[in-house]
Structure formats: C-alpha cells, structure tokens
Structure 1
Amino acid sequence: MLIELVPGTPAGVAEEVAARAAAHEDVTAWPVRLAGRVFVVVSGDESLARVPGSPAVLARRPTPDGHWLVRRDSGVAPREVTIGGPPRPAPRAVTGGPGAAPDAPGAVTGVVVGGPRLWWAAGPCALESAEDAAETALAVRARGAHALRAGLFKTRSSPYHFSGKGGRGLETLAEVRRTAAIPVITEVCDPRDVPAVAEVADCLQVDGRHLDNRPLLAELGAQPRPVLLMRAPGASLDDWLRAAEFVLARGNRDVVLCAGAAGTPPEPGFGAIPALRERTDLPVVFDPSHSTRSAALVAPAALAAAAYGADGLLIESCLKPERMYRPGDAAHMFPPESLADLVTACERVRDSVRSLAVPR
C-alpha cells in the first residue's frame, strides 16, 4: 500500500506518518519522494497498517497487483531517463578513475533514453581484456554509441563459464570510461557490490535471473544511478513491473526496461514493447543479441524492435571476438564497423512505422 502525502510535506512529518502506519511489528513503512510528490510505502499485512488521520495525508493508493508507481496513470514513472553525465568521484579502490571536472577533456555526456532519438549501447557481453575493452569502447563511440555495455558480474548458466572480473575489474572499467569518454553500463548481482559499482558505472544492469532478488533491487533503489532491468524469458509483464516497483519504492525512479527473449523455448519477445507502452511510461529498450544468440540475426531483430517502437538497443559488439574466453559470447558479437549503418536503418524503420501509425 502507498499513502500519498500533501506535496511539500516536511521530512519530519513524513517520518511520523510512516512510524504510525508501521505501529504493528509485522508492518514496515518508509517515506520516499518521487517526481515532486511524497509517499509513505507500507510493507506487510495491510489489514494491520494504520493510515493516520493526519492533515498531511492526501490519499491512500491500494496496490493489489504489487505495482502502482510504475503505472502510466500514476504520473510518477518517467518517460525519459538520462544515462551518463558529468564524471563522478572515483571509488576509493580505483586510481585514475572518472574524477575530472565536467568541462575537462574526457568528460562523459549523458544521453536521454526515451526521447526522440534512438538510444543505443554496444560492447562485449563481459569485460575481459582491458586493451580489447578500451579499443572496442573507442570504436563504438566513434560510430555514435551513447554508452558502452561491458559486464563485470556475469550470471552464467554453467559454473565453468567465465563469470566476469567482478570487483577487480572496476578500475579497468573506470579507466575505459575515462579514456573513451563514454558512459558505461555493467551488471551487478549482489547488493553488497552495488555501492562500489555505482561509483564507476553510469547505469546498473540487472539480469533477468535477478528480478526476484529483492535485496538487490532495494539497494539499487537507494542509489542515484539509472537501473536497467532485463526481462527473464519466463517472467510475466507483472513480474517485470513489480521488480521495477521495488526500485521506485526505494526512491529511484530512473528505471529502463530491457526486453529480449521470452517464452519457452525463448524467442525474441518484440510484443513486450507495445504491451508495456499500454501500462507504463518507463523507457523500453531491446537486446537483439541475447534474444537471438547469433550475430547474423542481430540486424533483423534490431530492425523488428525498432518497428515495434523500442526506445533503444543494447547490442553486443567486440573488435576481437576470437579472443573472448567463452566462445558462446563471441557468436553474439555484431561487427563494430556495421553498427552505424544498423542504427541508421533502425531509425528509418521506426520513423516509417510512426508515419503509418493508426490512432487507438
């Protein structure tokens, strides 16, 4: 349940309402400020929660399906999310990281996801060789990429596959970000790793296998960094939106949804894009690489996603895929030299479809 308070309610009053709502030991509550509005999130048995008769209380917002903040009619979920921006202080464990002033050489510019332009990111599935990652970052940036994707913590289907460099790769990722002057997107799996990764990455990616990792989602909600939530093939739209709600309910509304494979057996789930449009304003991007598992199918999948109205693309690309530790990852890598042509074609398709749109 959500208790909406009068706009501008002081923090002390919001805390008092939360404390009174959670008077029972089986109920917890906390205040959040989102989109200029003040809410008290009530978790637990709603029949035990107390809605105080305070003049600060504006409305009670029932949440029978587990998500209200992300809904289109809530007015809370953003249509646009900016990934990147002025460099932030480097983490303590990183030397030579992104610590320059915003107008210094190598400054990283943020780009909007969900705006009129087709946003896109490219890079290797996992950050492996520092040299290869830096070269790939420069290559994709030269072709117009708005961000670099490079995983440090990989959720693999086998314990014998490369699971990423983890925390020891943060320094490399920070250096790549600074050198290429490009925002970076990387995965995080453990809530204990979130603060350190958030000091380096411009966007924190959550694999679909972690949509039920509530401690991770709650920690991401406490960070001032955009979150990219990937859909698990077997997850329903409600599962996906509830995961986004966990992030918003902790105070972070900068969430981007990433569609990909869906169903059993998994196939590209293009239909999720218009289906989400009916239910939320959150930006929706598409991953044509993981959804097809084939570099040869990336282009047709990306074009189809553009036709369905995706706000952006998350593409796997690497200059030297033959050097990747896991051959399966190399099979997904779209050639960097063809990225600009692919994105141009996707923008044309998206514009053509929009011109033919039939009013609902």
Structure 2
Amino acid sequence: MLIELRPGTPAEVAEEVAALTGAHEDVTAWPISLAGRVFVVVSGDESLARVPASPAVLARRPTPDGHWLVRRDSGVAPREVTIGPPSRSGLPGFGPSRSELPGSGPSRSGPSRSGTGWSDAGWSEPRRSGPSAVSPASGRAVEGGVVGGPRLWWAAGPCALESAEDAVETALAVKARGAHALRAGLSKTRSSPYHFPGKGRRGLEALAEVRRAAAIPVITEVCDPREVEAVAEVADCLQVDGRQLDNRPLLAELGAQPRPVLLMRGPRASLDDWLRAAEFVLTRGNAAVVLCAGAWGTPPQPGFGAIAALRARTDLPVVFDPSHSTGSASLVAPASLAASAYGADGLLIESCLKPGKMYRPGDAAHMFPPESLADLVAACERARDSARSLAVPR
C-alpha cells in the first residue's frame, strides 16, 4: 500500500506518519519523494498498518498488482531518463541509503533519515562521489543522452568488459558513430559456471579508465547488492539481468543510488513481474528506470510485443536488446528495425572491434560490426518514423 501525503508535507510530518503507520512489528513504512509528490510506502501485513488521522494524508493508493508508481495513470513514472551527465542532478529525489533500508536496522517502524536531507522538492541526493562530467585524461566533457526523447537513444559495446585497451578502442569507435553510451558488463549472470563471469569489482578501475579515455557514459551490470555502491561510483547506469528480477535486496540497493537503472526482462518474466521489479526500485526513491526488452518465451524469441504492451501500462522508457534476443550478429539489423517500428525508445547493441579475442567464443557471435552501426541506427529511425506516420489512433 502507498499513502500519498499532501504536497509540501515537511520531513518531520512524513516521518511521523511513517512511524505511526509502521508501529506494528510486522509492518515497515518509510517516506519517499517522486515527481514532486510525497508518499509513505507500507510494506508487510496491511491489516496491521494504522494510518493516522493526519491532515497530511491525501489518499491511500492500493497496490493489488504490486505496482502503482510505475502505472501511466499514477503520473509518477518519468517518460524520459537521462543516462550520463547531467543525470546526477536530474533525478527527482532519493530514498534510504543501504543502512536505512527496511530490515537493516533495529527499528521496524521505518528508516531514519540520517543519510539524506529534506527540501521542498523532496529527499535530497545522498552525498556520494560519482563519475565526473569531464574526462581528466582527454579534457572532453562526458555528455549524457536522453532515453525516451524525440531521438532514438542507443548504446553499443562488448557483452563483458575484458581488455581495457580493447574496450577503449571500441568505445571510441561506437562514440564516433553516434552512440550515447558504452555497454560493457562487469558481472555476467551466465548460464554455465564455466563461462567467463566478468571481472566484477576488480574491473572497476578499468571501466573508469574506459570512461575517461573515451569520454562516454558507461552502462554496466551488477548482480550483488554489496557491490552496487562501488559500481555506482564509476558507472552512469546500472544494468540488471533478467535473471535477477527477483533479487529484491539488489533492487532495493539500486533504488537508493543516484544512478539510472536498466531492467532487462527475463525470458520467463511476465509483464507484471517486470513492472513489479521496477516498482521495487521506485519505492526506494529512484524513478530513473529504463525497461529493456529482449528474448522471451520458450524457446526464447525476440519479444517485440512487450514494447507495445508496456506503452499502454507505463510511461517508463523502453529499449530493446537485439543482440541477446537473437543470438546472432546477422539478425541484429532486422530485430533492431522491428523493435524501432514497434516504438522502442532505444537500442542496446553488442559490438566489438576484436570479437575474435573474446574469452567466451559464444559472445563473438552476437557482435555487430561498429562500422555499420551508424547506418543501422539511421535505418531504425526511419523505420520508427514510418511506423508512427501510419499508426491508427486507439
């Protein structure tokens, strides 16, 4: 359940409502601010929640499907998300830090707010360092891109970060062709224990060097909630693999970070599963969520239909991964064109200058040649524009 408070409700009043609502040991409640609105999130046995008769309470928002904040009619979910500077200043306010998450401290009435502050706009951003907007190595500004804007956003790069030198070359190549960000995974949720799992935390320095040298925002994967804060110091966007949509501690930690979150859909996840995962991030105070469609079903096939289906349910931007959804570089172009015609806001493409050197040979099969990226994206924009011009009103 969500309790919406009246606009401008002071911090101490929001805290009081949360404390009274979550007074029972089987209920936890905490306040958040999203889109200029103030909410108290109620988790646990709702029958035991005691919502006070406070003039600050505006309305109760039932959540029978497990998601209300992400719904189009809530007016909370953003239509546009910026990845890369100025994303730090562009996020709408943040929820609790890791030490303040429900269940992490001795109090069950609701998290304290020692790590954040309140302003008229909502909870202030946690004071953590992050990627600089200027690359010290090159002196060039790192510019962010808008997902969900009028132009097609896209990112490209290797599935997993391996050689920092090769990654820099690829980053420069994709940036020269117009990429808004580099994808390069540090942690991979592999289907086999014998496949390269990524460099993990030890690859953070290399990822930071790639970002500095190429002056491009970076997107990387994180699987362990204990590593989220460290990865957020380096990356501009934190990616969640579809197999991790049920990893609630990970989603909660991501919701406490001042970084956009890219949620991949799992091959067996329903739309409700996917939206509930996004809701989990928003209930921690981070509304900068991008949904990424890919393969779905058994056997897995490109899930283009999810793009259109989500349009009717949420305003969150939706991108498409044509590489993992097809498993073949030869199918990346047709899949990208189809996704664009379905209305995708962006593309997440696997691309590498030296695929033959990759640790896992299977990853090389996905790699779309960097030299063809600009032509592909231009064709995708034409496909999207054509589909829009022919669209029949609902």
Q: TM-score, normalised by structure 1?
A: 0.96
| 1:10-66: CA deviation from partner (whole Å, max 9, x where unpaired) | 111101100000111100000000000000000001111111100000000000000
Q: Of the candidates 186, 193, 205, which is equivalent to residue 159 of structure 1?
A: 193
Shift of 1:107: 1.8
What are the within-5 Å matches in structure 2 for residues 16-31 of structure 1? 16-31=16-31
| % identity of equivalent residues | 87
| 1:192-241: CA deviation from partner (whole Å, max 9, x where unpaired) | 00000001000000000000000000000000100000000000000000
Equivalent pair of 2:6/2:57 in contact (CA under 8 Å): yes
Q: Which residue of 2 aligns with 1:61?
A: 61
Shift of 1:98: 4.6
Q: Which residue of 1 aligns with 2:102?
A: none
Equivalent pair of 1:4/1:39 in contact (CA under 8 Å): yes
Indicate yes or no: 2:290 matched with 1:262: no
Shift of the 100–49 alpha-carbon distance from structure 1 to 2, 3 Å rule, reads closer
Q: Which residue of 1 aligns with 2:152?
A: 118
Output the CA distance in 1 between the equivalents of 2:173 and 2:327: 22
Shift of 1:262: 0.5
Output the CA distance in 2 between the equivalents of 1:274 and 1:207: 21
Q: Which residue of 1 aligns with 2:38?
A: 38
Q: Which residue of 2 aligns with 1:132?
A: 166
Output the CA distance in 2 between the equivalents of 1:43 and 1:33: 17
Q: Which residue of 1 aligns with 2:212?
A: 178
Shift of 1:87: 9.8
Cα RMSD for the two superposed structures = 1.4
Output the CA distance in 1 between the equivalents of 2:320 and 2:86: 26
Equivalent pair of 1:195/1:223 in contact (CA under 8 Å): yes
- Residue type of the partner of 2:26? D
Output the CA distance in 2 between the equivalents of 1:112 and 1:286: 15
Q: Which residue of 2 aligns with 1:81?
A: 81
Shift of 1:100: 6.3
Equivalent pair of 1:87/1:100 in contact (CA under 8 Å): no
- Residue type of the partner of 1:34? L
- Residue type of the partner of 1:77? A
| 1:76-107: CA deviation from partner (whole Å, max 9, x where unpaired) | 0000000001598xxxxxxxx95465898222
SS at match of 1:29: strand
Output the CA distance in 2 between the equivalents of 1:100 and 1:208: 30
| 1:302-334: CA deviation from partner (whole Å, max 9, x where unpaired) | 000001000000000000000000000000000
Equivalent pair of 1:81/1:254 in contact (CA under 8 Å): yes
Q: Which residue of 1 aligns with 2:3?
A: 3
Equivalent pair of 1:107/1:178 in contact (CA under 8 Å): no
Indicate yes or no: 2:298 matched with 1:302: no
Equivalent pair of 2:157/2:183 in contact (CA under 8 Å): yes
Output the CA distance in 1 between the equivalents of 2:180 and 2:48: 48
Q: Of the candidates 278, 283, 290, which is equivalent to residue 324 of structure 2?
A: 290
Large movers: runs of 4+ above 6 Å = none
Shift of the 105–208 alpha-carbon distance from structure 1 to 2, 3 Å rule, reads same
- Residue type of the partner of 2:61? R
SS at match of 2:230: helix
SS at match of 2:189: coil
Output the CA distance in 2 between the equivalents of 1:336 and 1:348: 20
SS at match of 1:325: coil
SS at match of 2:273: helix
How many residue pairs are counted as aligned between the two chains?
A: 352
Equivalent pair of 2:135/2:213 in contact (CA under 8 Å): no
SS at match of 2:14: helix
- Residue type of the partner of 2:187? F
What are the within-5 Å matches in structure 2 for residues 334-345 of structure 1? 334-345=368-379
- Residue type of the partner of 2:154? W
Output the CA distance in 1 between the equivalents of 2:326 and 2:260: 26
Output the CA distance in 2 between the equivalents of 1:116 and 1:357: 17
Indicate yes or no: 2:306 matched with 1:272: yes
Equivalent pair of 2:164/2:209 in contact (CA under 8 Å): no
Equivalent pair of 2:133/2:143 in contact (CA under 8 Å): no
Output the CA distance in 1 between the equivalents of 2:369 and 2:135: 32
Q: Of the candidates 272, 277, 288, which is equivalent to residue 238 of structure 1?
A: 272
Output the CA distance in 2 between the equivalents of 1:118 and 1:263: 26
* Structure 2 residue ranges without an equivalent (≥5): 89-129
Shift of the 101–321 alpha-carbon distance from structure 1 to 2, 3 Å rule, reads closer
Shift of 1:244: 0.1
SS at match of 1:3: strand
Shift of the 7–86 alpha-carbon distance from structure 1 to 2, 3 Å rule, reads closer
Output the CA distance in 2 between the equivalents of 1:123 and 1:18: 44
Equivalent pair of 2:87/2:259 in contact (CA under 8 Å): no
Output the CA distance in 2 between the equivalents of 1:23 and 1:168: 42
Equivalent pair of 2:265/2:274 in contact (CA under 8 Å): yes
- Residue type of the partner of 2:73? D
Q: Which residue of 1 aligns with 2:139?
A: 105
Equivalent pair of 2:135/2:215 in contact (CA under 8 Å): no
What are the within-5 Å matches in structure 2 for residues 139-218 of structure 1? 139-218=173-252
Q: Which residue of 2 aligns with 1:332?
A: 366
Output the CA distance in 2 between the equivalents of 1:255 and 1:311: 13
Output the CA distance in 2 between the equivalents of 1:20 and 1:216: 28
| 1:235-292: CA deviation from partner (whole Å, max 9, x where unpaired) | 0000000000000000000000000001111000000000000000000000000000
- Residue type of the partner of 1:266? P
